[in-house]
Structure 1
């Protein structure tokens, strides 16, 4: 897909926004979020009750997989809170977001919200999107040509290493959160640090008090590894393998969001598993739109893109990964070519 010939017209988004407004899709959905959060909270608490009841058993490894799912679902709720999909105002959003992110899963709400906001403003921009910084992997051939150190080491075969590396994403989220609260500038840094520390102490204490050291270690590895894979599987399909924006390349808001985003088909199961982020195009255009309204917004957005002749990209889940991994392998070619010589 190319963006070189995209028409740049700033007023197009205003018309789309009016159509979404007329459809009533900006309306809050408190009943939906009450039910969703209630189910997740019940399952999460029930999981810990089962954990303590089961005791020092290898069957706990099944719960490790269960908690990987729960951590991801809670992180997705925190994501919706950060975008003010649940509450209209900032204060309750931040309180609930810190409880969900920092306390329940050990991920800094403030750090993640800052990073994610910058991503939304400039998705797939080589200089401005923090999600495509070449710290481990390279996301464009230009990054590959100048890569050194770790990105250069992994870049040759990064498509094959992508899923194995995702097993470390959970630990990376904990590490990045801890690093963020140790640096000045993070809002409510003391509170965030206290909540993260409480999570870490409670989580590790539960494992070591109930399980033998060997079982605790295996539980930790499985839980954190599967959580990382789940998180990567939810967030990566939306943009990886879609066009990258180079420094100086400018598009209006509508085209910047649509052309760099991918939707994923799959029905209700995929909708719930991905927390609505399979409607990535609509989510990027209207981040505060309640998740449950995204499927209806899709009809409005897709029809409007057709009117404008604007490419609207949607695939199945398997194809989204094929495109993403194919892109990763393609952009690593400069490193492979240099090594071959």
Structure 2
């Protein structure tokens, strides 16, 4: 789809002006920064140190193969949590008021085997602007042809069973990211409707050097240092990424592909019906918003509405501004979608997959 999209209906955009004023007032009146506080730094250190500790325990070669396998799975979970809690905020410029701090912490994305530069294009620019718009938001293209998350995509016979086979596919997301996705995205001339024909030369170097280093640290070193056979090391690598991929895939899908969210299309001139901020309310949902556990593990991504409206606000503040966002949305007669628990969001995603796998 080559149509240049534009968000219109600016008459209703007073919603976002009002909301932004209220959220700004919240931080001003309390004389607090919208960036990371002490609790956020403590959480970041917990996941980073935990990741390093688990990796060190694996390379210590002091455990049996089954324990090592469990540690590999746990390492994958910690990698996903670093992505949620550290990399994501930093790459949005939300962690610190200092760009060098955000850039440094954004480098934690390399610990997942992923490329920060490519992510900032695909996620920050494309996904956050064109959320859930078929042909533009590539985040809803999990496995084109195999998984139907876009109501405009042709319906195939196998889609009838996609609610069963899609979840195992999510577990492959991290493995695909490490071995394929970044390379494919990097060398595409266009991502969504964002042109990417040229990249700085240093980004070519970073892509290949950091990928090579990742393979060295997670394949070559274990093969050299551990008393495991090559196939055991490969199984450990696979299990680590299955755990990481399942965590990443589920958290991101439960925010946009659940019952109630929409997949709006532009008109023939490329105009979207709603203003951008209102579009976010129709295409995004929260899950388990009252769960402290979900907030701690998911890095605020259980409150995706707040994140999409205020991506440069550190997620540690989302619980405080949630009431403001919800109240303002209701005042303007706008939806505020949420599932009360992770389980209910998961079931809602399952049902939507089931619906999309059948004729309308």
Q: Which range, TM-score by smaller chain?
A: 0.7 to 0.9
Q: Deviations over 1:32-81 (max 9, x none)?
A: 33222221221111112211224462110110121011110121221111
Q: Which whole-Å CA distance do the structure 2 matches of 1:23 and 1:30 have between them?
A: 15
Larger CA deviation: 284-293 vs 308-317: 308-317
Larger CA deviation: 255-264 vs 18-27: 18-27
Q: Which whole-Å CA distance do the structure 1 matches of 2:119 and 2:26 have between them?
A: 31
Matched, 1:245 2:273: no
Larger CA deviation: 286-295 vs 25-34: 25-34
Q: Which whole-Å CA distance do the structure 2 matches of 1:198 and 1:68 have between them?
A: 17
What runs of 5+ residues in structure 1 fail to find an aligned partner?
1-5, 146-151
The verdict on how the C-alpha distance between 1:112 and 1:329 changes in structure 2, with shifts beyond 3 A counting, is same
Q: Which whole-Å CA distance do the structure 2 matches of 1:7 and 1:239 have between them?
A: 24
Q: Which whole-Å CA distance do the structure 1 matches of 2:291 and 2:101 have between them?
A: 31
Q: Alignment partner of 2:97: what SS? A: coil
CA RMSD of aligned residues (A): 2.2
Q: Alignment partner of 1:137: what SS? A: coil
Q: Which whole-Å CA distance do the structure 1 matches of 2:199 and 2:109 have between them?
A: 15
The verdict on how the C-alpha distance between 1:49 and 1:140 changes in structure 2, with shifts beyond 3 A counting, is closer
Matched, 1:232 2:249: yes
Matched, 1:57 2:53: no
The verdict on how the C-alpha distance between 1:89 and 1:186 changes in structure 2, with shifts beyond 3 A counting, is farther
The verdict on how the C-alpha distance between 1:182 and 1:144 changes in structure 2, with shifts beyond 3 A counting, is closer
Confirm or deny: 8 A CA contact 2:173 2:246 kept in the other structure: yes
In structure 1, the residue matched to 2:182 is 177
| Structure 1 length-normalised TM | 0.87
In structure 2, the residue matched to 1:256 is 279
In structure 2, the residue matched to 1:312 is 336
What runs of 5+ residues in structure 2 fail to find an aligned partner?
1-8, 189-196
Confirm or deny: 8 A CA contact 2:90 2:103 kept in the other structure: yes
Q: Which whole-Å CA distance do the structure 2 matches of 1:8 and 1:157 have between them?
A: 43
Matched, 1:295 2:315: no
| Structure 2 length-normalised TM | 0.83
Q: Alignment partner of 2:347: what SS? A: helix
Of 215, 222, 229, which residue of structure 2 is paired with 1:207? 222
Q: Deviations over 1:84-137 (max 9, x none)?
A: 11133544423431x3112x1210111111110211111111122111236242
Count residues with an aligned counterpart: 322
